[in-house]
Structure 1
Amino acid sequence: MFDRRKFVGSAGIGLAGLMTGCAPRAVVSPSPGPIAVDGWTVLNDRPALDAEVSPLIDDIQRRAFRYFWEVTDEKTGMAPDRWPTPSFVSIAAIGFALTAYPIGVVHGWVTRAEAAQRTLTTLEFLTNAPMGDAPRGVSGYRGFFYHFLGSTRGYRFSLSELSTIDTALLIAGVLFAQSWFDDPADPVEARIRELAEQLYRAVEWTWIMPRAPLVSMGWHPESGFIRSDWDIYNEGMILYVLGLGSPTHPLPDGTWDRWAERFEASWGTRWGEEHLHFAPMFGHQYSHVWIDFRGIRDRYMAGKGIDYFENSRRAAYCQRNYAIENPGGWAGYGADCWGLTACDGPGDFAMTTAGQKREFFSYSARGPGERDDGTLAPTALLGSLPFAPEIIEPTVQAMYFRYGAQVYDKYGFLDAFNPTITRRPPEPFKHGELRLGTGWVDKDYLGIDQGPIVAMIENHRSGLVWDTMKKNPHIRRGLERAGFTGGWLS
Structure 2
Amino acid sequence: MTRTAAVERTLATLRFFWNSPQGPEPDATGYRGVYYHFLDIQTGRRVWQCELSTVDRAFLLAGALTAGIYFDASSGDETEIRTLADALYRRADWQWAQNGGATLTHGWKPESGFLPYRWEGYDEALLLYVLGLGSPTYPLPEYSYAAWTSTYRWEHVCGQEYLHAGPLFIHQLSHIWIDFRGIQDAFMRDKGIDYFENSRRATYAQQQYAIDNPLGFKGYAKNCWGITASEGPGPENLNVDGIDREFFDYVGRGVPFGPDDGTLAPWGVVASLPFAPEIVFATLHYCVHEAKLTVTVRPAHLPARTDRSDPYPASCQRCGSNSAMRR
TM over 0.5: yes
Query: Where in structure 2 are the equivalents of 1:144-293 lying within 5 Å?
Result: 144-183=34-73, 185-263=74-152, 266-293=153-180
Amino acid at match of 1:242: L
User: What CA distance in whole angstroms lies between the structure 2 residues aligned with 1:260 and 1:196?
Assistant: 28
Relative to structure 1, the CA distance from residue 230 to residue 157 in structure 2 (aligned partners, 3 Å threshold; closer, same or farther) is same
The 2-side partners of 1:407 and 1:216 are apart by 40
Q: TM-score, normalised by structure 1?
A: 0.63
Contact kept, 8 Å, 1:179 with 1:193, in 2: the verdict is yes
Q: Which amino acid aligns with 2:233?
A: P
Partner of 2:270: 382
Q: Counterpart of 2:204?
A: 317
1:356-406 CA distance string (max 9 Å, x none): 001010011111131110111112111111000100121012111123252
Aligned position for 2:318: 437
Q: Does structure 2 retain, via aligned residues, the 8 Å contact 1:319–1:339?
A: yes
Question: Aligned AA for 2:20?
Answer: A
Query: How big is the shift at 1:407?
Result: 5.1
**Which residue pairs with 1:134 in the alignment?**
25
Query: Deviations 1:327-350 (Å, cap 9, x if unpaired)?
Result: 111121100010011111112111
Cα 1:433–1:238, aligned 2, differ >3 Å: closer, same or farther? farther
> Where does the alignment leave 5 or more consecutive residues of structure 1 unmatched?
1-109, 444-490
For the Cα contact (< 8 Å) 1:178–1:193, is it kept in 2? yes
- Give secondary structure in 1 for the equivalent of 2:264: coil
* Offset of residue 158 of structure 1: 0.6
SS class of match (1:254): helix
Query: How big is the shift at 1:422?
Result: 2.5
Give deviations 1:201-224, integer Å, cap 9, x for gaps. 111110011252100011111111
Report SS of the residue matched to 1:148.
coil
Contact kept in structure 2, 1:344 and 1:416, CA below 8 Å: yes
- Contact 1:280/1:341 (8 A) holds in 2: yes
Assess if the C-alpha contact under 8 Å between 2:226 and 2:269 holds in 1. yes
* Aligned counterpart for 1:417 among listed residues 290, 293, 305: 305
CA distance in 2 between partners of 1:324 and 1:331 (Å): 11
Match of 1:63 in 2: none
Listed one character per residue, the Cα deviations across residues 156-202 of structure 1 (whole Å, up to 9, x for unaligned) are 1212111011110111101100111111x211110100111111111
- SS at 2:95's partner residue? helix
Contact map agreement 2:295 2:317 (CA 8 A) in 1: no
Offset at residue 408 of structure 1 (A)? 9.7
* 8 A Cα contact 1:400 1:408, kept in partner: no
Tell me if the contact between 1:272 and 1:314 (Cα under 8 Å) persists in the aligned partners. no
* Percent of aligned pairs sharing the same letter: 46
Which amino acid in structure 2 is aligned with residue 123 of structure 1? L
Count of residue correspondences: 320
User: SS of 1:205's equivalent?
Assistant: coil
Supply the AA of the counterpart residue of 1:293: F
Output the CA distance in 2 between the equivalents of 1:408 and 1:118.
Answer: 33
**1:393 lines up with 2:277 in the alignment:** no
Whole-angstrom CA distance in 1 between matches of 2:204 and 2:314? 30
SS in 2 for 1:268: strand
Larger RCO, structure (CA 8 Å, separation 6 or more): 1
What CA distance in whole angstroms lies between the structure 2 residues aligned with 1:176 and 1:436? Answer: 40
TM-score, with length taken from structure 2: 0.93
Check if 1:294 corresponds to 2:185. Answer: no
One-letter amino acid of the counterpart of residue 47, structure 2: F
The 1:225–1:248 alpha-carbon spacing in structure 2 relative to 1, beyond 3 Å, is: same
CA RMSD of aligned residues (A): 1.9
Whole-Å Cα distance in 2 between the matches of residues 128 and 277 of structure 1?
40
**Deviation >3 Å, runs of 4+:** 407-410, 438-443
**Tell me, what secondary structure is at the counterpart of 1:275?**
strand
- Find 1:367's aligned residue among 254, 277, 287: 254
Check the 8 A contact 1:330/1:374 in 2, yes or no.
yes
Counterpart residue type for residue 11 of structure 2: L
Query: In 1, distance between residues paired with 2:166 and 2:40?
Result: 31
Preserved contact between residue 406 and residue 441 of structure 1 (Cα < 8 Å): yes
The one-letter code of the counterpart of 1:239 is: L
